[in-house]
């Protein structure tokens, strides 16, 4: 098992859900964290909490992955001691709406494509060259079951996660022989703020998504991400699909009354 002690881990979308759980899991392993998201007050509070609990050293800054210039400038301006990023967790992402394509809100499409696809690309494009130069690193993308299957009313979200799957596979080939690994962790239903965001703040609708079943938690996914990151250098987890036991695939779910 590869130690994570003092490894520098850059996490996008660390202010909630899976990203926050990843920060906690990497902190427990003694990693140093670069915590980014738009809600800076949340990541600052998280950094403080992890410092108290585990003595974690963190660098925090506001980063909107949709903003190409901001991504370029913030990564180029990393303090010298934070530049050698070992692990990038491309987690920032969202769903907007659950509607038939021909009735859907186009603004939500822009947001999903700009965040889940272009945002992930901007961050990757700016951090991977350093990994290539150093001949080591690991990119771990948070994909989705929606990157393996398409489901009704989810055409654009599914398209973005299919894009993440394609980017993961191509990048792995681009980096072959260089010492930089690429993995993807692809969950089914995880109860986070995801559905609240998808339904534009409708908490009841969000709760109903997980009604009658035990969904995954952010921690379940974070444990898988840490598993990928701790494989010995000769081994790579290409992709890992993780579902709640009550979910067989993107559509078939068992709910208790
Ligand atoms: P949450 O809504 O709980 O967290 C999403 C995170 O992404 C937040 O920290 C948010 O931070 C960040 N984020 C969103 N937009 C941006 C942006 N433009 N720039 C930077 N950060 C951003 O959802 P999850 O934790 O569930 O989602 C994390 C990832 O997991 C996403 O990629 C999602 O698609 C994926 N996923 C989720 C599943 C689920 O069922 N929950 C299942 C499969 C995959 P802030 O708003 O502060 O910027
Ligand atoms: C988010 C979960 O079930 O909508 O990736 O694909 S789902």
For residue 245 the two structure tokens come to 């036991």
Q: Does 2 fall in a domain?
A: no
Q: Which atom of ligand 1 is nearest to the CA of 157?
A: 34
Computed on alpha carbons and rounded to an integer, the radius of gyration of the chain in Å comes to 18
Q: Does 248 fall in a domain?
A: no
Ligand with smallest separation from the Cα of 152:
2
Its domain, for residue 114, covers 8-242
Residues in contact with ligand 1 (CB, 6 Å cut-off):
12-13, 15-19, 37-39, 63-66, 91-94, 115, 119, 142, 144, 187, 189-190, 192-194, 197, 218
Considering its fold, how many domains does the chain have in total?
1
Residue 90 sits in a domain whose CATH number is 3.40.50.720
The one catalytic residue in 102, 122, 157, 200 is: 157
Q: Does 251 fall in a domain?
A: no
Order of strands, edge to edge, in the sheet holding 58-62?
58-62, 32-37, 8-12, 87-90, 137-142, 180-187, 239-242
Question: Which pLDDT tens digit goes with each residue over 202-227?
Answer: 999 999 999 999 999 999 999 999 99
Q: Which atom of ligand 1 is nearest to the CA of 195?
A: 41
CA atoms within 13 Å, Cβ hemisphere of 175: 27
Q: Does 40 fall in a domain?
A: yes
Q: Does 255 fall in a domain?
A: no
Q: Does 163 fall in a domain?
A: yes
Question: Which pLDDT tens digit goes with each residue over 42-79?
Answer: 999 999 999 999 999 999 999 999 999 999 999 999 99
157 as an active site residue: the answer is yes
Give me ligand 1 centre to Cα 182, in Å.
20
Question: Which pLDDT tens digit goes with each residue over 168-206?
Answer: 999 999 999 999 999 999 999 999 999 999 999 999 999
Q: Does 123 fall in a domain?
A: yes
Distance (Å, whole) CA 166 – CA 21: 25
Query: Which residue bears the tokens 């067989």?
Result: 248
Q: Answer for the pair 129, 88: CB distance below 8 angstroms, yes or no.
A: no
Q: Does 252 fall in a domain?
A: no
């Amino acid at each position: 098992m590869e130690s994570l002690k003092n490894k520098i881990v850059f996490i996008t979308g660390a202010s909630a859900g899976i990203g926050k759980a990843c920060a906690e899991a990497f902190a427990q392993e003694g990693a140093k964290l670069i915590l980014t998201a738009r809600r800076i007050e949340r990541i600052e509070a998280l950094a403080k909490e992890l410092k108290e609990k585990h003595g974690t050293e963190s660098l925090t800054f506001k980063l909107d992955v949709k903003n190409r210039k901001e991504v370029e400038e913030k990564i180029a301006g990393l303090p010298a001691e934070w530049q050698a990023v070992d692990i990038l967790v491309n987690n920032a992402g969202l769903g907007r709406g659950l509607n038939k394509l021909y009735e859907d809100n186009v603004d939500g499409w822009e947001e999903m494509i700009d965040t889940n696809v272009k945002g992930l690309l901007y961050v990757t494009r700016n951090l991977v060259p350093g990994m290539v130069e150093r001949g080591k690193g690991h990119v771990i993308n948070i994909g989705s079951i929606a990157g393996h299957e398409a489901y009704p009313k989810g055409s654009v979200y599914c398209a973005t996660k299919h894009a993440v799957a394609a980017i993961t596979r191509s990048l792995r080939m681009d980096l072959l022989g260089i010492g930089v690994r690429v993995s993807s962790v692809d969950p089914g239903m995880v109860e986070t703020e995801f559905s609240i965001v998808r339904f534009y703040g409708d908490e009841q609708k969000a709760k109903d998504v997980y009604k009658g079943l035990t969904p995954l938690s952010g921690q379940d996914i974070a444990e898988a991400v840490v598993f990928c990151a701790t494989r010995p250098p000769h081994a790579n987890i290409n992709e890992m699909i993780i579902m709640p036991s009550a979910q067989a695939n993107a559509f078939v779910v068992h709910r208790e009354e």
